[in-house]
Amino acid sequence: MSAPFENDSEFNEAIPKPKTRGRFTLVQFFVVLGMLGLLIALLLPATRSVGPVARRAQCSNSLRQIALALITYEHVHNELPPAYTVDAKGRPLHSWRTLILPYLEYESLYKTIGMRSRPD
C-alpha cells in the first residue's frame, strides 16, 4: 500500500526527511572546551579555600583538647599543673605540657619521660 507513494515527488517534498547529524565541528569543540575551562576556573578558588578552614578547625579542636586535659588534671590533682617541675637542685625539668600528656591520650609517651630527675 505504501509502495506507490514512495517514489512520488509530491510526497517527498511534503514530508521532510530527517537530516543525519554530523560530528562536532572544530568551532563547537573549542566552544565546549572553553566552557569547561571557565567552569574549572570558577570552581578552583572554592577548592583552594577549604585548606585554611580545615586548618582552623583542626587548631580549634586541639585547643579544646588541651583545655579539657587541663580541667581533667585539675579535677584529679585539685590544682592546675605548675608552669614547670624542678629536680632536687631546683633546676627546671618539664613544663605543664608534659604533665597533661596522660590526659591528652599520650600515656605511653608520658611513661617514657623521666619525671624524677635529669642526669648531670
Domain containing residue 81: 23-112
Residue 14 lies in a domain: no
Confidence of residue 111 (pLDDT cuts 50, 70, 90): confident
What is the rounded distance in angstroms from the CA atom of residue 3 to the CA atom of residue 14? 17
Tell me which of 68 and 49 has the higher pLDDT. Answer: 68
Q: DSSP for 42-65? A: HHHHHHHTHHHHHHHHHHHHHHHH
Is 66's pLDDT higher than 70? yes
- Which residues fall within 8 angstroms of residue 80, CB to CB, at 6 or more apart? 70, 73, 74, 96
Residue scoring higher pLDDT (101 or 49): 101
Number of domains in the chain: 1
For residues 72 and 103, the answer to whether their CB atoms sit within 8 Å is yes
Task: Report if residue 35 sits inside a domain.
Answer: yes
Give the separation between CA 58 and CA 50, rounded to whole angstroms. 12
Grid cell, residue 106, equals 599520650
Within a domain: 1: no
DSSP 8-state symbol, 17? P
pLDDT of residue 116: 59
4 in a domain, yes or no? no
Taking the CB of residue 73, how many other CB atoms lie within 10 A of it?
19
Is residue 48 situated within a structural domain? yes
